[in-house]
Amino acid sequence: MDVQIKKGVLDACVLYALSGGESYGYKIISDLKGIIDISESTLYPILKRLEGAGALKTYAGEFKGRLRRYYALTDEGSRRLEAYRRDFNDIIGIYEKIFGGKK
């Protein structure tokens, strides 16, 4: 898959995984299994990028006596997810026109 397209898809997937509420790294990967394979090493830069862009906010919470970092969507994150949904709809429309029923 083209790197830029893949980047967009991965960002959209992570935003989608957080659209149901706050989550943490391992759970995000688990929730996305069956949708897209995303490794621990791939997820971290995406979280950093989205956080840097203001799409995510993070905080540390206690879990079993240790700290765990939680991630949650910001308004900017929700807006981005909605923008991805519209873009992907457009892409699907283009795909249908170009390839029709062909796979």
Partner 1 sequence: MKYIDWIDEFEKNLLSLSEEERAKAKCYYGEMYADMRDGGLSEEQAVAEFGAPYDAAKKILEEGVFGAQSGGGKIATFESNGPCDELDFNCSLCSINVEFYDGDSVKIDYPFLSPTVCEVTQSGGKITVRNNKKVKWKSFKALFGDEKMEYGISVKLPKDLTPDCRINLSAGKMTLGKGSYGKIEAQTDGGAFTARGITCGDIICATDAGALELKDITCHRLHAEVNAGRLTAEDLCGSVADIALNAGSADVKRADARRVNVKVSAGSAKLELCGGQSNYDVEVTKTLAKCDLKATNGGRERLLKADVAFGALTVNFL
Contacting positions for partner 1 (CB under 8 A): 24-27, 30, 39-42, 44-45, 47-49, 52, 64, 66-69
d(CA 49, CA 81): 15
For the CB of residue 31, give the shortest distance to partner 1 in the complex, in Å.
Answer: 13
> And the tokens for 8?
């967009």
Which residue number, 45 or 93, has a Cβ lying nearer to partner 1? 45
Angle at 8 between CA 46 and CA 38, to 5 degrees: 50
DSSP state of 17: H
For the CB of residue 102, give the shortest distance to partner 1 in the complex, in Å.
Answer: 35
For the CB of residue 78, give the shortest distance to partner 1 in the complex, in Å.
Answer: 21
Which residue number, 26 or 95, has a Cβ lying nearer to partner 1? 26
In our burial notation (b when 16+ CB lie closer than 10 A, e otherwise), range 50-85 reads beeeebbeeeeeeeeeeeeebbebbeebeebbeebe
Which residue number, 48 or 79, has a Cβ lying nearer to partner 1? 48
Which residue number, 41 or 75, has a Cβ lying nearer to partner 1? 41
